[in-house]
């Protein structure tokens, strides 16, 4: 017999975990509504050149991590989405959303796919929540997006997070900085690790993210991006910081912070959580005013967004002990049969309870009363409703509160009224 297992880099999420995911997703959605963000859902795959054009052909994602295939020899190459921003912008432009309102605030909770080495909090199929504010990228717009992200973390109770923030300047500033980094790192080529040597030619900004000890020593002496940012961009960045101060959002200016994707410009940010270990990034984002033009728009479209890994968010709240009181919500009533022959009557009672909006469960395996009571307690049911021949004949049932152990005899209408009030 063949024993099938989940594909490496994927995982199953079982009912006892789903309740935690639903809790996290609920917080994301509730805070989104406070800020006026509306959910968008895009296909799980797009044409490959969408990501090559938007993310950048020199990035690790495009170069190494995409799941790409052709449905047939004559069709265009298709890729499982490795990130959401490109797909959201493609959908925005395709629908012509800019004509309906000047600014759109969108959020998502979506599965993504990358051929990364599986590790804690990083899978080949993973989930992110994020937001894209399209049509504005002014300092107030940037502060609005960061506020939404940090509000989610605050409502989850997370402590000790570090918001790192920097300005990348405009695309011309960034180009000049890339050339300066190439000039700086080239004499150290032989001392760089293999990934950094590869990045030196393709995307030298990514060397700044290296965790290799010797590379970190070299990076310490690298030119700073702030030296290449013009005064106008710096003044705009200072306004962003001012808005964060007004909203009591703590931050750390980090001149070495960059974002690996080519479409970022001006403000970039990242949130770190110490409990996540060496790979401590919880999420991040920034401005990407030039992405729309890259995808076919006749002009640049101001935009700012972020993405947060849901698996990493789950790790953070678990490690900070914020889920201890969160349990699956059991049924209001567990119907306990004293006689298996009464199963049809019990099914009818469950139907009446459910029609009244009261969650109900019953035994479907013909087990003893003792086993049924164990199951009732295991499911977290709040009441047990006893069904025996005498109860059926009189139309009066024993209703037991499983927390207080108090019990009373009531007809069905009284039970519906009492439980309905709960």
DSSP 237-284: HHHHHHHHHHTT---EE-TT---SSTT-EEEEEEEE-GGGTTS-EEEE
Stretch among 113-122, 271-280, 408-417 having the lowest mean pLDDT? 113-122
pLDDT tens sequence across 310-349: 999 999 999 999 987 676 678 999 999 999 899 999 999 9
Beta bridge partners of 401: 383
Does 418 or 208 have the greater pLDDT score?
418
In a domain? residue 324: no
DSSP 163-177: EEEEE---HHHHHHH
- Of 262, 293, 319, at which residue does a domain stop? 319
Give CA–CA dist 202/181, Å, rounded.
12
Residue 54 pLDDT grade (very low, low, confident, very high; cuts 50, 70, 90)? confident
* 92 and 235 in a common domain: yes
Give CA–CA dist 162/171, Å, rounded.
27
Spatial strand order of the sheet with 68-69 comes to 45-47, 78-80, 68-69
Question: Mean pLDDT across the stretch 63-92?
Answer: 91
Spatial contact of 181 and 205, defined as CB atoms under 8 Å apart = yes
Rg of the Cα trace of the chain?
28
Calculate the alpha carbon distances from 274 to 28, 37, 57, 190, 345 in Å: 22, 29, 32, 32, 56
Q: What is the pLDDT of residue 262?
A: 66
In a domain? residue 198: no
* 38 and 159 in a common domain: yes
In a domain? residue 385: yes
Q: What is the pLDDT of residue 73?
A: 85
In a domain? residue 9: no
Burial of 405 (0-12, 13-18, 19+ CB in 10 A): exposed
Question: Mean pLDDT across the stretch 127-142?
Answer: 97
Spatial contact of 111 and 127, defined as CB atoms under 8 Å apart = yes
Q: Is residue 2 scored above 80 in pLDDT?
A: no
Q: CATH number of the domain that 270 lies in?
A: 3.30.930.10
Question: Mean pLDDT across the stretch 134-162?
Answer: 96
DSSP 185-205: HGGGGGGS-HHHHHHHHH-GG
* Strand stretches in 59-154, DSSP E: 68-69, 78-80, 104-113, 125-134
* 98 and 31 in a common domain: yes
* 29 and 77 in a common domain: yes
Q: Is residue 242 scored above 60 in pLDDT?
A: yes
Question: Which of left, alpha, beta for 54 (phi over 0: left; psi -120 to 50: alpha)?
Answer: alpha
Give CA–CA dist 397/411, Å, rounded.
6
* 138 and 76 in a common domain: yes
* 106 and 71 in a common domain: yes
In a domain? residue 205: no
Beta bridge partners of 64: none
Residue 177 pLDDT grade (very low, low, confident, very high; cuts 50, 70, 90)? confident
Spatial contact of 287 and 265, defined as CB atoms under 8 Å apart = yes
Q: Tally the domains of the chain.
A: 2
Give CA–CA dist 343/340, Å, rounded.
6
In a domain? residue 127: yes
Q: What is the pLDDT of residue 338?
A: 94
* 122 and 166 in a common domain: yes
Q: Is residue 58 scored above 60 in pLDDT?
A: no
Give CA–CA dist 164/285, Å, rounded.
11
Burial of 238 (0-12, 13-18, 19+ CB in 10 A): exposed
* 293 and 240 in a common domain: yes
* 65 and 138 in a common domain: yes
Q: CATH number of the domain that 403 lies in?
A: 3.40.50.800
Q: What is the pTM of this model?
A: 0.87
- Of 286, 319, 352, at which residue does a domain stop? 319
* 304 and 165 in a common domain: yes
Residue 261 pLDDT grade (very low, low, confident, very high; cuts 50, 70, 90)? low
74: containing domain: 15-170+230-319
By residue count, the chain amounts to 422
Nearest to 275 by CA among 308, 224, 241, 318: 318
In a domain? residue 403: yes
* 270 and 139 in a common domain: yes
* 368 and 305 in a common domain: no
């Amino acid at each position: 017999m063949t024993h099938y297992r989940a594909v490496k880099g994927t995982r199953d999420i079982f009912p006892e975990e789903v309740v935690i995911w639903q809790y996290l997703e609920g917080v994301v959605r509730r805070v989104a509504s406070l800020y006026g963000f509306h959910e968008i859902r895009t296909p799980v795959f797009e044409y490959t050149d969408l990501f090559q054009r938007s993310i950048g052909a020199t990035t690790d994602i495009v170069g190494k991590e995409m799941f790409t295939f052709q449905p047939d020899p004559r069709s265009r190459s298709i890729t499982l989405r490795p990130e959401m921003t490109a797909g959201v912008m493609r959908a925005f432009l395709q629908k012509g959303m800019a004509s309906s309102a000047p600014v759109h605030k969108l959020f998502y909770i979506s599965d993504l796919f990358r051929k990364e080495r599986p590790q804690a909090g990083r899978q080949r199929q993973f989930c992110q929540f994020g937001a894209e504010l399209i049509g504005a990228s002014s300092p107030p717009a940037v502060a609005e997006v960061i506020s939404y992200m940090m509000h989610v973390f605050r409502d989850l109770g997370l402590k000790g997070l570090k918001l790192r923030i920097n300005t990348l300047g405009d695309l011309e500033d960034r180009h000049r900085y890339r050339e300066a980094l190439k000039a700086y790192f080239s004499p150290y080529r032989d001392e760089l690790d293999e990934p950094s040597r590869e990045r030196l030619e393709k995307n030298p900004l990514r060397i700044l993210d290296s965790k290799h000890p010797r590379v970190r020593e070299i990076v310490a002496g690298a030119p700073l991006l702030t030296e290449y940012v013009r005064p106008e961009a710096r003044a705009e960045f200072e306004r962003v910081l001012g808005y964060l101060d007004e909203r009591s959002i703590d931050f750390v200016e980090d001149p070495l912070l960059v974002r690996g994707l080519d479409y970022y410009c001006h403000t970039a940010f990242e949130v770190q959580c110490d409990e996540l270990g060496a790979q401590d990034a919880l999420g991040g984002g920034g401005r990407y005013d030039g992405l729309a033009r890259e995808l076919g728009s006749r002009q640049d479209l101001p935009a700012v967004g972020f993405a947060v890994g849901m698996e990493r968010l789950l790790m953070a709240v678990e490690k900070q002990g914020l889920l201890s009181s969160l349990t699956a919500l059991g049924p209001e009533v567990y119907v306990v049969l004293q006689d298996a022959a009464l199963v049809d009557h019990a099914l009818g009672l469950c139907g009446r309870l459910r029609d009244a909006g009261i969650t109900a469960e019953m035994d479907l395996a013909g087990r003893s009363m003792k086993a049924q009571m164990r199951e009732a307690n295991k499911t977290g049911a709040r009441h047990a409703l006893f069904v025996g021949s005498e109860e059926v004949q009189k139309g009066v049932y024993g209703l037991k509160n499983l927390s207080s152990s108090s019990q009373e005899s009531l007809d069905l209408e009284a039970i519906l009224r009492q439980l309905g009030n709960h």
